[in-house]
């Protein structure tokens, strides 16, 4: 038995769909290829030289320079000084009583011996008169016993007792006289008075029994009536690091001693040179500084105790120092260095800082007078790279000073 299988027939509609799919894929391939060609062409255009000349970039860093100088440099310290009264006296009562009068106005200048206060003198006048009367009686008795003793009419013991009684009475008179004198309180120094701390009308006392007493160093004393500061002359106190002590001692031993300059910042006023008259006998443990004091006449009374003044102390001098502007010294991983410009190229040279006065630095290194060092624009400079000089910094004068503290790094063996 033969079985015949009829093959399947594809419908016309299915054939049309397959032709449409093949046409869509072809269009996609064509569009993708065109986009790839455009991308490769753009890449080639932007990465290949078109042959047109391009301007060259200037790689030389613009900098400012200043010349190296060789001259003597003063080793100086800038610090703040404090005005201190030449002496400060607290005026206290030496006898008890009522304060009845003040002979001065607050803030008045007084001289030694001028009356300041009066304590009611009447009780002390009466005590003095009584002591004088007792002394007169004792003196008459002693004289009478002296005559009787010459006649052997009185025992020697009675004569001695009469003489002793007279001496005691005379001592009582002197004590009463002093107490009466102390009722007028006088200035022990020339100076300027402060505020009156206990006004007339109050009871004052020289002992701790007074309600206005205080304890100082374990000793009970009465509170002062007024404080007098001696301000002609005054003292200027300042402190310097203990590392400066060898230079201070060396300068004090030279003729003329050590002086410092005081700036009062008055318009048109010149700086004042003041001689150092005192160097502390110990270094402060908390600050590591040594105190210096100078005496100033203060004839115009422009300075008052507690006032702050700018001071500049010249400790020594570095002869033939190599000086560069402070801005020229840079700090790197290997230490300090400067850039020296030679033939338009920056050369990095190491230096060691000896002293910094705030304007110029004294350094040691491979530098000579006239070398140009970079003072501005160092951040754009590389060792051995080209630089372009855009300006020369003006150098500060040898006497230029700046305020504030600057650390001295000059070695003691180089001190002038």
pLDDT in tens, 333-364: 889 999 999 988 999 999 999 888 778 899 99
Band of pLDDT at residue 278, cut at 50, 70 and 90: very high
Band of pLDDT at residue 235, cut at 50, 70 and 90: very high
For the chain, the average pLDDT equals 82
pLDDT tens digits along 377-415: 888 888 988 998 887 766 555 444 333 334 333 333 333
HSE value, Cβ hemisphere, 13 Å, CA-based, for 296: 30
pLDDT at 218 over 60: no
Band of pLDDT at residue 305, cut at 50, 70 and 90: very high
- Average pLDDT for 134-146: 93
Instruction: List the beta strands (DSSP E) in 50-160.
Output: 61-67, 69-91, 97-102, 109-110, 115-119
Phi, psi of 59 (to 5 degrees): -95, 0
Band of pLDDT at residue 20, cut at 50, 70 and 90: low
pLDDT at 91 over 80: yes
The conformation of residue 269, written as its DSSP 8-state character, comes to P
Return the pLDDT at 50. 53
Greater pLDDT, 267 or 262: 262
Query: What whole-number distance in Å separates Cα of residue 29 and Cα of residue 362?
Result: 78
Topology of the domain covering 122-182: Helix Hairpins (1.10.287)
Between β-strands 259-263 and 69-91, what pairing exists: parallel, antiparallel or unpaired? Answer: unpaired
Return the pLDDT at 156. 86
Same fold: 93-120+184-224 with 122-182: no
Query: What whole-number distance in Å separates Cα of residue 235 and Cα of residue 225?
Result: 25
Return the pLDDT at 412. 34
The conformation of residue 260, written as its DSSP 8-state character, comes to E
Give the residue extent of every domain in the chain: 58-87+233-416, 93-120+184-224, 122-182
- CATH dotted code for 58-87+233-416: 2.40.420.20
Query: What whole-number distance in Å separates Cα of residue 229 and Cα of residue 235?
Result: 12
Q: Across 76-80, 181-185, 295-299, 401-405, which has the greatest mean pLDDT?
A: 181-185
Greater pLDDT, 8 or 27: 27
Question: In Å, how far are 96, 203, 214, 221, 223 from 209, measured between CA atoms?
Answer: 10, 12, 10, 9, 12
pLDDT tens digits along 141-197: 999 989 998 888 888 898 889 999 999 999 999 999 999 999 999 999 999 999 999
Domain spanning 93-120+184-224, CATH architecture: Beta Barrel (2.40)
CB 214, CB 223: distance < 8 Å? yes
- Average pLDDT for 27-39: 73
Tokens representing 179? 């107490």
In the block, residue with structure tokens 């570095």: 318
Return the pLDDT at 390. 84
Return the pLDDT at 174. 96
pLDDT at 26 over 70: no
């Amino acid at each position: 038995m033969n079985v015949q299988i009829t093959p399947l027939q594809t419908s016309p509609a299915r054939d049309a769909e397959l032709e449409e799919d093949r046409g869509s894929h072809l269009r996609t391939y064509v569009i993708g290829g065109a986009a790839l060609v455009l991308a490769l062409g753009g890449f080639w255009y932007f990465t290949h030289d078109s042959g047109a000349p391009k301007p060259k970039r200037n790689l030389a860093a613009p900098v400012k320079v200043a010349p190296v100088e060789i001259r003597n440099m003063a080793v100086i310290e800038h610090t703040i000084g404090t005005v201190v009264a030449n002496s400060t006296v607290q005026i206290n009562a030496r006898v008890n009583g009522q304060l009845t009068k003040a002979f001065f106005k607050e803030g008045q200048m007084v001289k030694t011996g001028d009356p300041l206060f009066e304590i009611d003198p009447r009780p002390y006048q009466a005590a003095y008169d009584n002591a004088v009367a007792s002394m007169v009686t004792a003196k008459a008795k002693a004289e009478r016993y002296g005559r009787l003793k010459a006649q052997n009419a009185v025992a020697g013991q009675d004569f001695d007792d009469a003489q002793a009684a007279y001496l005691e009475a005379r001592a009582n008179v002197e004590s009463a006289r002093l107490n009466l004198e102390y009722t007028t309180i006088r200035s022990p120094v020339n100076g300027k008075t402060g505020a009156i701390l206990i006004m007339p009308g109050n009871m004052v006392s020289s002992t701790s029994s007074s309600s206005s007493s205080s304890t100082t160093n374990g000793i009970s004393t009465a509170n002062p009536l007024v404080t007098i500061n001696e301000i002609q002359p005054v003292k200027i106190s300042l402190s310097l690091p203990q590392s400066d002590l060898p230079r201070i001692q060396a300068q004090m031993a030279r003729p003329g001693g050590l002086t410092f300059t005081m700036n009062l910042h008055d318009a048109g006023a010149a700086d004042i040179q003041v001689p150092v008259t005192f160097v502390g006998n110990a270094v402060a443990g908390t600050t590591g500084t040594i105190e210096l004091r100078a005496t100033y006449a203060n004839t115009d009374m422009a300075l008052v105790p507690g006032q702050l003044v700018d001071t500049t102390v010249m400790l020594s001098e570095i002869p033939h120092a190599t000086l560069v502007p402070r801005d020229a010294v840079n700090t790197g991983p290997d230490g300090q260095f400067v850039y020296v410009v030679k033939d338009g190229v920056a050369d990095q040279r190491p230096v060691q800082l000896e002293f910094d006065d705030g304007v110029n630095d004294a350094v040691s290194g491979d530098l000579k007078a006239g070398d140009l060092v970079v003072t501005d624009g160092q951040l754009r400079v590389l060792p051995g790279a080209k630089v372009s000089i855009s300006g020369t910094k003006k150098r500060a004068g040898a006497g230029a000073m700046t305020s504030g503290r600057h650390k001295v790094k000059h070695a003691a063996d180089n001190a002038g």
